[in-house]
Amino acid sequence: MDELNKLIVFFAKLPDTILSSLYLSLKKEKPSLVVFTFHSLFKNKKEIGYRHIDPQLGITLEHFDQFIQYFLKYEYEFIAPYQIINGLDANKKYVMITFDDGYYNNILSVPYLKKYEIPATFFISMDHISKRKCFWWDVQYRERLQQGFQISEILNEQEQLKLLPNKDIEKKLQLLFGKEILDPLGDIDRPFTINELKHFSEEPFVFLGNHTKNHAILTNLPSNEITEQIQQTQNFITGITGSSNPQIISYPNGNYSEEVINIAKKLGLEIGFTTDEKKNFLPLPKHSNALLTLGRFDITENDSINKQCLFARSDFVMYQKIIKLIKKKY
């Protein structure tokens, strides 16, 4: 089913990929906020080849630099979370860089943020940092690869594991691969330490956001556990930065519901990011749930960076409509 989903996404995006260039050559794009998701950041392809972690998007520093240069070329303004809260000019074009999870390798972004004087937001998972443990999907990925599993088999197993509570996933992996399996191998697979995150948060272009206590898929949980996942991470980040609670969250796995949104609002969060691939057209509605369901795009190593950026800029998209029709059918 995973391979079928990939084919569906590929062919659903194909018309937009072809038409986006034509559209942008004929029409002026609408004012919007375009947001992108990153996870790990690799020095080069050699690091990806070590197979210490699930590469997910496979983004190297070269890719990251290309991405930044592309949006600067087209006169987009890179923004921080507080600018959304303060209000964006409804006549401008904005782009936002976000990193999920809290990998230590995210520190590689700092020289680029300083060079171009642009901000980025880093959503961190509290327990992985406080307990200095690997992310479970990285452990499962590298161990299954060593056992000779195909990538499709690994990804399908990940989807099944996501149905379990985080602690049960980790226990299962420890039973399969050993008690110490969640210990990091090195700087590629480990999260920040508390001290490292504190120093990182002091960088002028770095902003921290909430990614829950242990990367829990919130829609799998009862309301009291949703509250705990978010609130404890709010407190943790406040302790790290010494400032007020963050006002921004990224939902693990992109999963959200009306209940999740309402709890997030009660806990003081004003902005929430999903994995829905969509532009956020301006003006953004204030004091509504729309700010807690903002869309984001992925950038991957599997296609031209410029082509993917162009796709995200286009206002003419059929992809989401096609996917909705397919989901209804299945």
pLDDT digits (tens, 9 = 90+) for 24-76: 766 789 999 999 999 999 999 999 999 999 998 999 999 999 999 999 999 99
What is the pLDDT confidence band of residue 330, given thresholds at 50, 70 and 90? very low
pLDDT more than 70, % of the chain? 88
Task: Give the DSSP letter of residue 24.
Answer: H
Q: What is the pLDDT of residue 267?
A: 96
Task: Give the DSSP letter of residue 31.
Answer: P
Q: Is residue 45 part of a domain?
A: yes
Domain span at residue 163 reads: 135-182
* Nearest by Cα to 137 from 173, 90, 102, 188: 173
Mean pLDDT of 299-324: 78
Residue 134 DSSP SS3: coil
Q: Is residue 114 part of a domain?
A: yes
> Chain-wide mean pLDDT for the chain?
91
| One domain for residues 126 and 139 | no
Q: Is residue 226 part of a domain?
A: yes
Say how far apart CA 273 and CA 84 lie, in whole Å. 12
Q: Is residue 65 part of a domain?
A: yes
| One domain for residues 125 and 254 | yes
Say how far apart CA 229 and CA 287 lie, in whole Å. 23
What is the pLDDT confidence band of residue 319, given thresholds at 50, 70 and 90? low
Q: What is the pLDDT of residue 302?
A: 86
Q: Does 21 score more than 90 pLDDT?
A: no
Q: What CATH number corresponds to the domain at position 101?
A: 3.20.20.370
Mean pLDDT of 138-152: 97
Token output for 3: 């391979």
Q: Is residue 49 part of a domain?
A: yes
**209 DSSP β-pair partners:** 123
pLDDT tens digits, residue range 84-119? 999 999 999 999 999 999 999 999 999 999 999 999
Assessment of whether the complete model's pTM goes beyond 0.85: yes
Q: Are 95 and 71 in contact (CB under 8 A)?
A: yes
Q: Is residue 273 part of a domain?
A: yes
Q: What is the pLDDT of residue 9?
A: 54
Q: Is residue 319 part of a domain?
A: no
| One domain for residues 156 and 173 | yes
Q: What is the pLDDT of residue 67?
A: 98
Of the candidate ranges 2-6, 120-124, 162-166, the one whose mean pLDDT is the lowest:
2-6
Q: Does 23 score more than 80 pLDDT?
A: no
| One domain for residues 94 and 112 | yes
Number of domains in the chain: 2
Q: What is the pLDDT of residue 33?
A: 98
| One domain for residues 286 and 205 | yes
